[in-house]
Chains A and B, each alone.
Chain A
Amino acid sequence: MRGGWPSDQGGELLDYLVIAASVAHGATLALALSPRVMCWSENQWLIDLRPTRHYWTVQARRRGVKVGPLLQMVLAEAAAQSGDSGAELLSESLVFAPCPWQALLLSAHLKERGLAGPLELREPFSQALLRQLSWIVWFDVAKEYAAALARSKLYGFKEERLRKDLSNLERAVLRLGQKHPAQMVDASSQSFRRRFGEHIARLWQWTFDGVAKDVKTSKNQQGSLGFVEEVAFASAFPWINVVISEKPQVVRHLEYPVWSWEQLVAALTTDLDRLADIPALALGAAVVRLEWILHLEDLSDCRVTIAFRHPHSLKAERGAQKTALSQAAHSFEAVYLRRRQDVIFAAPVPLIGWSLVVAESLARAPTATDLFGDAGFCRASELTVERIDNQLHIALERYQVTSDWAAEGAFTAKLAGSTTASLAKPWSALAATRPLYLYSEPRLLNAREVPLQAEFIERTGEVWWQRPEGALLERNYFLIQSRFGQRSWATKGEAGEWWVHGLFA
């Protein structure tokens, strides 16, 4: 048995969590952590933490605790509120993984071995457990996957076919005398696709590689807002959201058609206030994503998503709704005003009404707030930064430095609420000789740009284990100066050509 929480390596939560415990109100408990919850089987809930991962990470940092124990506290509180007594069992069944399939496999494996969580897949212990997974468990979970696919009514999917492919694979595994999937880790998903079909190939790929290449990423036509789309995978994982109550919404029927932002902003502000007064939100729930469905004069609908980087309280901005209006204005421009861009001189079809639906919200447990809301746990400036982040159309970048000799690996994105450490002496001395700007890819200087001067600065070892065979093992950096006085940071290739990696101030 393992006790305690996994170490928070990397600091942030993994994307998915599985809870497997026989509690009466599992879905309600799971919804305290994220608005996206799927009931996988009886007493097993799959939670997509992506919409609230940043929120929980920030909350944990502000309170000076790790994210896992904070979630445990939130779950315990939610269990106490709903009258469930199995809160302890609940925390022992938690499994975090970057991919729902891996989380399900690990959860089933824990149950089979009689072990207790919580587990996090990036830990060596959890990875070792995954390697010890038996084919029996793998097939059990794959059959549940087939049933879930059937429930999701995926177009063209035939459950019988997948079950037949699974029994073919079972026979092949028996014939080969293999007990653990890890024994076949080198087998490619292409070879599985050829022999056992598309679905099994995908499951095989997810088992050890996760979903890095398969996940549908968040950027869309509304710019770099960064919200995660509701569809978890590009028509692959059969995600079905749990809905325990109707989504709060308000409907507006306009007196006359409108088409510009200025004409509708007053009515929209009123509707956001009405939404804030709906009991589910008035009790302190924060909005993660609103769906604004515009009803047009030609009887068609246009969906505009209003998403927030940090869960946002509509109640706190009653009367002004500055944050929601700021995001709505950007999204309205990106979706509605540009939808007929292809037709020259075409005016947008006027609106005759809309529905404003709370697509995702987070019911914040008392642990996550105190009597004074978030203000009790963080400084006013942090709340201001969150508010501005929520109002902006683009995400602001914040960085922290890391101890890495290679310039491209010497920094990472900074998590909100974390503090930036200073570099140790050798790295800070090195950083002082390097340029302020770096190219994403080195730029080859042409013959007319040959530098007037070149001064050697440093020799850095190459990350040779990540490079193709035969690549250079080290890089010699020079400060070069062009005939216009521009100073760059460059390396010299084998043929004497110059590659510019960065530019000085």
Chain B
Amino acid sequence: MSCRVSLYGNLSHLVSRGVVLSALDLHTLCSTFGVRRGDQASLGSRFKLRSGLTALDDFFGGGMAFGIVTEWGVPLGCGGRHIVLKFLAAANSRPGVEADYPILWAYPDSPLGLNPPAWQALGIDLQHIAFARTNAPMHDLKAALLDPHYRLVIFDMPLSLSRDDYGFLARQARAQQKIIFVLHNQLLSDARGNAFAKLRLNCTRSRAAPANLIVTPVRGLASQPLSLQLEGLL
């Protein structure tokens, strides 16, 4: 018991001092020393996935926290997905090392398919990403959501997600320390909120400077909109 308490205390201290440990390392440490699940979640929520772009990481308070659902308004073809891909590319970028964060990307079953070479060119390691073509991701991918293996899960243009679905996703994200990205093909508004998504953001092209992307928080971040050069994301 004392070992568990002291490990939790020490890890808490390290995290608060800004020591960088991967979430996988944390998970292994906690499992080995028997840190309780609630404490694990509390610790895990302080670990962040960093994109490698200082401005972007600072915008998210040091990176994207694990254990949450994030909702993005990213109209297709406007460049917004580059921000999500930047995080995914950084997640498994240690060469020769087994995937820290295996990725599951679900996209709708429509005539629009994928072009994997372009994903690889953007830094996504195809070794560590699995795609699921489905119009009912909650039904078809339940086993993958219940398992801790896929740490980064992306629902790209889901046809319909109910409040219950978001509730399930939020519970699984917290319990398994995943980050779940839900990418919508339209901009989000605060008129239709979502209590289960800790972060809600819109990404659009700047009208004044079309080479720039504007990231506007709808919920979860107090910061001002962030302007990023698209070139820097490629």
A438 to B76, CA, bound (A): 12
What is the 8 Å Cβ interface bit string for chain B, positions 120-160, against chain A (1 contact, 0 not)?
11100111011111100001110110010110000000000
CB distance from A54 to the nearest CB of B (A): 15
- Asked if B111 CB lies within 8 Å of chain A CBs, one says yes
- Asked if B81 CB lies within 8 Å of chain A CBs, one says yes
User: Which of the residues B98, B115, B144, B147 comes within 8 Å of A435, measured between beta carbons?
Assistant: B115
Assuming the A-B contacts A485-B205, A505-B81, are A392 and B140 also in contact, with contact meaning beta carbons closer than 8 angstroms in the complex? yes
A487 to B210, CA, bound (A): 12
CB distance from A428 to the nearest CB of B (A): 6
A428 to B78, CA, bound (A): 22
Q: Which residue of A lies closest to B74 (CB)?
A: A505
CB distance from A323 to the nearest CB of B (A): 8
Q: Is the CB of B115 within 8 A of A436?
A: yes
- Asked if A407 CB lies within 8 Å of chain B CBs, one says yes
Q: Is the CB of B78 within 8 A of A431?
A: no
Q: Is the CB of B102 within 8 A of A381?
A: yes
A504 to B76, CA, bound (A): 7
A399 to B99, CA, bound (A): 16
A384 to B104, CA, bound (A): 14
Q: List, in ascending order, chain A residues with CB within 8 A of B144's CB.
A: 388, 391-392, 396
What is the 8 Å Cβ interface bit string for chain B, positions 65-97, against chain A (1 contact, 0 not)?
000000000011111111001000000000000
A381 to B81, CA, bound (A): 28
- Asked if A445 CB lies within 8 Å of chain B CBs, one says no
Q: Is the CB of B121 within 8 A of A431?
A: yes
CB distance from B146 to the nearest CB of A (A): 9
Assuming the A-B contacts A388-B144, A407-B115, are A414 and B77 also in contact, with contact meaning beta carbons closer than 8 angstroms in the complex? no
Q: Is the CB of A420 within 8 A of B99?
A: no
Q: Is the CB of A400 within 8 A of B126?
A: yes
Q: Which of A384, A392, A428 has the most CB of B within 10 A?
A: A392
Assuming the A-B contacts A384-B147, A423-B120, A431-B120, are A439 and B113 also in contact, with contact meaning beta carbons closer than 8 angstroms in the complex? yes
- Asked if B9 CB lies within 8 Å of chain A CBs, one says no
What is the 8 Å Cβ interface bit string for chain A, positions 418-439, against chain B (1 contact, 0 not)?
0110110001101110111111
What is the 8 Å Cβ interface bit string for chain A, positions 375-414, against chain B (1 contact, 0 not)?
0000101001100100111101111110000010011001
User: What class of interface size applies to chain B in its complex with A?
Assistant: 35 or more
Q: List, in ascending order, chain B residues with CB within 8 A of A487's CB.
A: 77-79
Q: Is the CB of A505 within 8 A of B82?
A: yes
Q: List, in ascending order, chain A residues with CB within 8 A of B76's CB.
A: 437, 486, 503
Q: Is the CB of B116 within 8 A of A394?
A: no
Q: List, in ascending order, chain B residues with CB within 8 A of A488's CB.
A: 77
- Asked if B118 CB lies within 8 Å of chain A CBs, one says yes
CB distance from B92 to the nearest CB of A (A): 12
Assuming the A-B contacts A396-B130, A486-B75, are A410 and B117 also in contact, with contact meaning beta carbons closer than 8 angstroms in the complex? yes
Count of chain A residues with a beta carbon within 8 Å of a chain B beta carbon? 48
CB distance from B211 to the nearest CB of A (A): 12
Assuming the A-B contacts A401-B126, A420-B127, are A388 and B147 also in contact, with contact meaning beta carbons closer than 8 angstroms in the complex? yes
User: Which of the residues B131, B139, B149, B204 comes within 8 Å of A397, measured between beta carbons?
Assistant: B131
Q: Which residue of B lies closest to A401 (CB)?
A: B117
- Asked if A118 CB lies within 8 Å of chain B CBs, one says no
Q: Is the CB of B104 within 8 A of A396?
A: yes
Q: Is the CB of A432 within 8 A of B115?
A: no
A419 to B126, CA, bound (A): 9
Q: Is the CB of A432 within 8 A of B113?
A: no
- Asked if B222 CB lies within 8 Å of chain A CBs, one says no
Assuming the A-B contacts A398-B126, A503-B112, are A392 and B143 also in contact, with contact meaning beta carbons closer than 8 angstroms in the complex? yes
Q: Which residue of B lies closest to A408 (CB)?
A: B115
Q: Is the CB of B77 within 8 A of A503?
A: yes
User: Which of the residues A391, A398, A431 comes within 8 Å of B143, measured between beta carbons?
Assistant: A391
CB distance from B34 to the nearest CB of A (A): 20
- Asked if B195 CB lies within 8 Å of chain A CBs, one says no
CB distance from A302 to the nearest CB of B (A): 21
Q: Is the CB of B133 within 8 A of A504?
A: no
- Asked if B21 CB lies within 8 Å of chain A CBs, one says no
- Asked if B234 CB lies within 8 Å of chain A CBs, one says yes
Chain B residues proximal to chain A, CB less than 8 Å: 75-82, 85, 98-99, 102, 104, 111-122, 125-127, 129-134, 139-141, 143-144, 147, 149-150, 204-205, 210, 234
Known pairs A396-B132, A398-B131, A435-B118; list 12 more (Cβ under 8 Å): A392-B132, A392-B144, A393-B139, A394-B140, A400-B116, A401-B126, A410-B115, A410-B116, A423-B120, A430-B117, A439-B111, A439-B112
Subset of 9 A-B contacts with CB under 8 Å: A396-B104, A410-B117, A422-B120, A427-B117, A440-B113, A484-B75, A486-B75, A486-B76, A502-B115
The 3 residue pairs across chains A and B that have the minimum distance between CB atoms = A486-B77, A431-B117, A391-B143
